[in-house]
Structure 1
Amino acid sequence: MDEQISGGPTEWLTLPDVAERLDLSISKVNQMVKDGLLLVVRHDGVRRVPADLIATETALRHLPGILNVLRDAGYNDEEALEWLYIPDDSLAGGCAAVALGGPNTTEVKRRAQALGF
């Protein structure tokens, strides 16, 4: 199923693109996907990662924790992607996905944790 999100990611990366950007082997990226450390959805028939989620070291470091919290709250990967891209002017960058890579990381975590209650 292809994922189309209004106001969602503006740039999508294939897994080989992710490997290149992170200077990792494709097998390491595949392992990260298998371990749930990256959010991957089908977009245009190809497994892709929103570029925002690996744009900074901060985003990449905090993404697995956010994904765990969202999954614990019952979100599947497509729903987690939608949540990350809900427009929110109170966050730097206008949504949780972009804010995750900046100074609002703690706020994004807090909001994700609140979903479990």
Structure 2
Amino acid sequence: MEHGRITEWTKSLCCSAGTLPSTYLGLPLGYKRNSPLLWRPVLEKFRTRLAPWKARYLTLGGRVLLAKSVLSNLSVYYLSLFKMPVKVSTEFNRLVSNFIWNSLDRRKIHWVN
């Protein structure tokens, strides 16, 4: 009964029916509130934009500027609708500090917290 009704609605609206979880306007739908899974696409984009090979060719100031610009742009859209869990915030901070301080494939001391 329900499937037939949904099919009828989709035909009348000229659209298709989907399942959750899915995305709409780049935002995920159907996840539990404040779930770390909700933030997985943002973390992946963050990792790819702050790739270790980019750090190799930048000065310390360049790495800081790139990290700040990526941080401020990627998560703002999500933060306008969702509250970031502490676990995800910790992961963001870890990625940024590793990008800034571990530039030449060797571990350095994190001088600034």
User: So what's the TM-score if we normalise by structure 1?
Assistant: 0.22
Q: Which one has a larger percent strand, Structure 1 or Structure 2?
A: 1
Q: Which one has a larger percent helix, Structure 1 or Structure 2?
A: 2
